[in-house]
Structure 1
């Protein structure tokens, strides 16, 4: 089956669209990436999304209009690929997260809440292709975090027979899947994963502030590589509750956004950090959060760390991660395993859609999300007419 996966993360840079061919059932699947494209959001739409995700109020009418506008952008990504390739049977759309509240922040039995805009029913009708969306809500309904959701896909595609691995996604927010060796008894039940904290989000915000919006990210980490991190400042930041919280856990811009960055900047006052020092220090926070989470919560350190997401292209960040982990752990990207690191998340939601629509196979791992049971993930929307 040919499936298009659509994804836009917390960086809000645009829509990643991946056309994949999937064969097999359940965990025994083969996935081939046939084509991909990244379509940037129009600047005005990206600005509006970031404002809403940052807590700006809007009317219900404006919310509906934003929902439709995002859906049209997602549909455009799917249409670009569908027009080039015949027989696309399904779309899996993650949508654009604008709000995420993990469960139990104020009440022990409180259900979480998550909102992804870009409604699947509009995508289905604009493209004429059945669409699966709202992947996170079924896990939330089972008292899960609704994130991370790609761990079962990682299990199907990236588990090694003899070596423990961490699949480390570094998008706006960073998350991991720990994969024990497949030779271990009950290996699937031993998989774990969670959000480790900020990935690129604080770095991107800082670059925009430093350049008055002329740049949106630090390409290859070149700017940060010219600075020196303030390690005492990072150590202070890492005392924050989220980094010490035991999994399952998830987060987003609600915690690691502009206000958080401003508080970090206040802590840095008086240290006379250059712009490069500031970016190096924020990079060290992302790296330190990842490594500290490994050491605190993994059953064992991995033999390999496999990177994906936009942060895998940040050479300075990956160099610092390798240095923190030590030479005994190999840091690679999913590209070395045959999965495009840029489009790995979009590919994952194509697989989740396939499991929901064609296999009726639960897509979550309860030990990762904290859900009370396995769930079929996503709502199915068929085009009318």
Structure 2
């Protein structure tokens, strides 16, 4: 058995989810036992700085380096805390904090032009499209390894992006080996700041896994959290249990208008982030809503309905067939109103949580990055090319080994 700590802070920037797990097996036969799970909130000042950077505020390189280190220190402290009372973990898999995500452009002609420009050493201007996607997670693994004394795998997305992929979602292979079922098809729906899905066909036949697909479905909690912060004047950061939204009435006309956004028309593989579904998008939503005289509860109910309707529409448009069961995880799985609305919209498909399959809904993403770190150490590819759009399966993450000072064993 290998003890691994998984660490992640999602696009909601709520705090650091930490999971200490024992892992055995390799890939298809992998077994995971959750020993401890906890969420460690960011220092409020650090959280505000992260949100400012995510929202595009300009900072100097010195400030950015300080932020990178401050996040790494917070992650290292979370790892030390979750390990307390247990023998020291063998490995840490740290996703870090995403501060920017740009999906790749898919127009072949544009890619060819840009490759030619790069080979000639020409500058790529804003009017030209990038060849590869770009995704930046900070909280450097080298410092986490140095502070904890534990080898740390980080920077998971880059290898998939280099292979032409979206760099997201990365947890689909983990979903496949932990949550697939012999006779029923399933959707594993994570609802963090952004929503993502893994579709798992029934585990029948030798090549069942070739039918797996997945992508980012659109906004999860991101717009809701931003709206709550604005409505409450900063006194609240989220709608606990969906209680405020539950007191309102969604404006379905607005939801249909918002669903015409280009992202929802794009076929998978695809990924997104708060660069699209962030403050600018919320302000457009608020502008669109001005003529409808919505109360704060109505607005939150309407934004919740956007998350629900986008998930349902993505399933009905892009899945090979509707699943037999949906399993929720992430912070949105604790939003009672959102879960009720999703269940009503997807009926008769049952909507449960991964808790009911023995896998913590709160810490599934942290567990996943513990497993991805474990696979990296074993030399096992962690991505699924049919999900991310990569040209091949690749090893994910960079390993940072702890090197003790001279004379220290």
Shift of 1:105: 6.4
SS of aligned partner of 2:356 = helix
SS of aligned partner of 1:144 = coil
Q: Return the alpha-carbon distance in structure 1 between the equivalents of residues 88 and 164 of structure 2.
A: 37
1:232 aligned residue:
253
User: Any stretches of 5+ residues in structure 1 without a counterpart?
Assistant: none
Specify which of 147, 160, 165 is matched with residue 181 of structure 2: 160
Are residue 345 (structure 1) and residue 365 (structure 2) matched? Answer: yes
Shift of 1:325: 0.5
Specify which of 365, 382, 391 is matched with residue 363 of structure 1: 382
Specify which of 333, 358, 368 is matched with residue 312 of structure 1: 333
Q: Which runs of 4+ in 1 moved over 6 A?
A: none
Q: Return the alpha-carbon distance in structure 2 between the equivalents of residues 282 and 119 of structure 1.
A: 34
TM-score normalised by structure 2 residue count: 0.93
Deviations 1:24-66 (A, max 9, x none): 1122111010001111001111101111011111111111110
Shift of 1:326: 1.2
Shift of 1:81: 1.8
Q: How do 1:195-210 residues align onto structure 2 when only pairs under 5 Å count?
A: 195-210=216-231
TM-score normalised by structure 1 residue count: 0.98
Q: Return the alpha-carbon distance in structure 2 between the equivalents of residues 83 and 382 of structure 1.
A: 21
Deviations 1:269-297 (A, max 9, x none): 11000010000000000001100000000
Specify which of 258, 263, 284 is matched with residue 284 of structure 2: 263
Shift of 1:185: 4.4
SS of aligned partner of 1:84 = coil
1:192 aligned residue:
213
The count of residues paired between Structure 1 and Structure 2 equals 383
Shift of 1:83: 2.6
Q: Return the alpha-carbon distance in structure 2 between the equivalents of residues 211 and 12 of structure 1.
A: 18
Q: Return the alpha-carbon distance in structure 1 between the equivalents of residues 255 and 179 of structure 2.
A: 32
Q: Return the alpha-carbon distance in structure 2 between the equivalents of residues 184 and 270 of structure 1.
A: 54
Q: How do 1:210-229 residues align onto structure 2 when only pairs under 5 Å count?
A: 210-229=231-250
SS of aligned partner of 2:393 = coil
Q: How do 1:116-195 residues align onto structure 2 when only pairs under 5 Å count?
A: 116-195=137-216
Larger-gyration structure (1/2) = 2
Q: Return the alpha-carbon distance in structure 1 between the equivalents of residues 142 and 186 of structure 2.
A: 37
User: Any stretches of 5+ residues in structure 2 without a counterpart?
Assistant: 113-130, 405-409
Specify which of 307, 324, 336 is matched with residue 356 of structure 2: 336
Q: Return the alpha-carbon distance in structure 1 between the equivalents of residues 260 and 163 of structure 2.
A: 30
Specify which of 313, 324, 327 is matched with residue 292 of structure 1: 313
Range moving further from structure 2, 297-306 or 181-190? 181-190
Shift of 1:87: 3.5
Deviations 1:156-192 (A, max 9, x none): 1000001000000000000000000001441111100
Shift of 1:88: 0.9
Are residue 96 (structure 1) and residue 115 (structure 2) matched? Answer: no
1:115 aligned residue:
136
